[in-house]
Amino acid sequence: MNRFVSAPWELFVGWRYLYRGKRSRRVLVGLAASLAVLAAGVAWTYGLGQPSPVGVLVLTAGAIGAVVSSLLCLLTVFTTVSVVGVVLGVASLTVVLSVTSGFQAAFRDKVLGVNAHVLVMKNSQDFHEYRAVEARAKALPGVLAVQPFVFMEMLVTRGKGELSGVAIKGVDPARVGTVLDLPQHMIDGEVSALAVREPGREPPIILGKVLAEKLNAKRGDVVTIVSPLSGRDPAREPTDWRLVGGPPRTRKFQIAGIFYSGFDEYDRRLMYIDIREAQDFLGQGDVVMGVELRLANVEQARATAHALDRQLEQELPRASFVVMDWQKLNENLFAALRAQKVVLLVLLTLIILVAAFNMVAALTMMVFDRTKEIAILKSMGGSSGGVARVFLVVGTVIGGVGTALGLALGLLLCSVVSRYGYALDPRVYLIDRLPIRVNPEEVVLVGAITIVICVLTTLYPVYRASSLRPVDGLRYD
């Protein structure tokens, strides 16, 4: 008796309540079939060649079937149902968080691919002291490169095609590669071609892949840039479009390269030219729109922008500058992504809560079903705390096994989706592939949330079992 009481009998009894015992032949056949389907899906998805949707579906079905069949081989049906509920909730939450994190990372990479880390602009249109701003920016710690730029909204056409609205950015060909990641996105031609001006030929221009397809243009073709506002009288109202002094200004450019960033907004509208050509086309002299900086650590962008803003305010007080980091420039986009991620986290946590309530029901039924056994345990010297630990072990095992299998299934699905490369409509989602990014911190967070929920939901069945009196269980025997 003493040896029975002093031994960890709670673990033994708890496992006995969970253990299935005799395995049926149908369960073993189902396990073998699920493992065969899983192996076929793995070979289909991770084998040679591009994965197909059918292979992804086969692998997913095989993985879920293998999980359910394996649980049925070891655990009772009630326990398996509870565990599967936790598995599906954890797997869904893991996949969704990885997708939302992937969208955040993809948008960040795309934005930083064609934009600088810090921008300095002026409230007025007379930014002529940009060289002084460049000198002060270069002196800041962590600043790798600086360049001025001109940005203008124009129209572009090729031959007799329709006009298309574009955004043209004038950059320094010698420094653009040190500030932007444009050279890495070139699929035809080189960025250095912007600096090559051959006599008798149109100045070079670089445009996005989607825009090139829209214009049916390739490298070497000539496009025409139209400035729709050059013929307007600036003294008139913005809605008065009467021309003054002739038609809008136009200029021909020769396509020297095509880039593809994967961000539809840029690939469809953005064009690059030499900053001197942009200044000459605008006819405003040696004036720029802003100065952009590249930093050694992008996470220091906000601190660097704040430091530069204070320095410019002290040393150039007459000029009204606006200093923004890349996060502030795209604040609405990333704020929406963060809010979406929080909402999805809350909603999908409800799935885990539903599974947890299912577990409460299963454990409560187990307490009612084992009333006689609980009474015998207490009559043999088992304490209320020991009985409570029995069902706490049961709930913890259900939560722990469900969490582990759910995380494994979720990570497997993330790997499959990432390998498959699910295509998206870039006109809707701005990017062309479904991004997946697994953050270890989020995986740990999902596991911790699930374990806490599962432990808390066992408290009521544990209380019911521990408060049962031996006489109540043996009254009619």
CA distance 425 to 105: 18
Share of the chain above pLDDT 90, in %: 19
Question: Which has the minimum average pLDDT: 40-54, 122-136, 192-206, 334-348?
Answer: 40-54
pLDDT single digits (tens) 155-181? 998 876 667 889 999 999 999 989 988
CA distance 82 to 104: 33
Q: Identify whether residues 260 and 358 lie together within a single domain.
A: no
Q: Identify whether residues 130 and 89 lie together within a single domain.
A: no
pLDDT higher than 90, residue 124: no
pLDDT single digits (tens) 316-349? 776 788 898 888 877 777 788 788 888 888 887 8
Q: Which two tokens stand for residue 175?
A: 């420094």
CA distance 278 to 269: 16
- Going by C-beta distance under 8 Å and a sequence separation of 6 or more, which residues neighbour residue 439? 97, 98, 101
pLDDT higher than 90, residue 206: yes
Q: Identify whether residues 232 and 86 lie together within a single domain.
A: no
Contact (Cβ atoms closer than 8 angstroms) between residue 199 and residue 253: no
For residue 409, tell me if it sits in a domain. yes
Question: Which has the minimum average pLDDT: 65-79, 253-267, 355-369?
Answer: 355-369
Band of pLDDT at residue 51, cut at 50, 70 and 90: low
pLDDT higher than 50, residue 241: no
For residue 395, tell me if it sits in a domain. yes
Q: Identify whether residues 214 and 160 lie together within a single domain.
A: yes
The domain tally of the chain equals 2
Q: 363: part of which helix (H) or strand (E)?
A: helix 331-369
Contact (Cβ atoms closer than 8 angstroms) between residue 107 and residue 337: yes
Residue 318 DSSP SS3: coil
Q: Identify whether residues 262 and 372 lie together within a single domain.
A: no
Calculate Rg over the CA atoms of the chain.
33
Final residue before a domain boundary, out of 319, 349, 369: 319
Residue recorded with tokens 């073993």: 28
Final residue before a domain boundary, out of 285, 319, 353: 319
| DSSP string across 21-87 | -SPPHHHHHHHHHHHHHHHHHHHHHHSSS---HHHHHHHHHHHHHHHHHHHHHHB-HHHHHHHHHHH
379, 344, 352: which is closest to 468 by C-alpha? Answer: 379
- As a 3-state breakdown, the chain gives helix, strand, coil percent values, each rounded to 5, of 60, 15, 25
For residue 59, tell me if it sits in a domain. no
Residue ranges making up the domain that contains 437: 2-19+75-110+333-474
pLDDT higher than 70, residue 245: no
Q: Which two tokens stand for residue 140?
A: 């800041």
Q: 466: part of which helix (H) or strand (E)?
A: helix 459-466
pLDDT single digits (tens) 425-443? 777 777 778 888 898 998 9
Q: Identify whether residues 339 and 295 lie together within a single domain.
A: no
- Going by C-beta distance under 8 Å and a sequence separation of 6 or more, which residues neighbour residue 476? none
Q: Identify whether residues 83 and 141 lie together within a single domain.
A: no
Q: Identify whether residues 106 and 131 lie together within a single domain.
A: no
For residue 156, tell me if it sits in a domain. yes
Alpha-helix residue ranges (DSSP H) falling in 75-144: 77-114, 130-138
Q: Identify whether residues 342 and 414 lie together within a single domain.
A: yes
Q: Identify whether residues 128 and 267 lie together within a single domain.
A: yes
pTM greater than 0.75 (yes/no): no
For residue 27, tell me if it sits in a domain. no
62, amino acid identity: G
Q: Identify whether residues 291 and 355 lie together within a single domain.
A: no
Band of pLDDT at residue 239, cut at 50, 70 and 90: very low
Residue 234 DSSP SS3: coil
For residue 412, tell me if it sits in a domain. yes
Final residue before a domain boundary, out of 274, 290, 319: 319
Residue 408 has a pLDDT of 92
For residue 25, tell me if it sits in a domain. no
CA atoms within 13 A on the CB side of 211: 32
pLDDT single digits (tens) 268-285? 899 999 999 999 988 888
For residue 213, tell me if it sits in a domain. yes
Q: Identify whether residues 138 and 252 lie together within a single domain.
A: yes
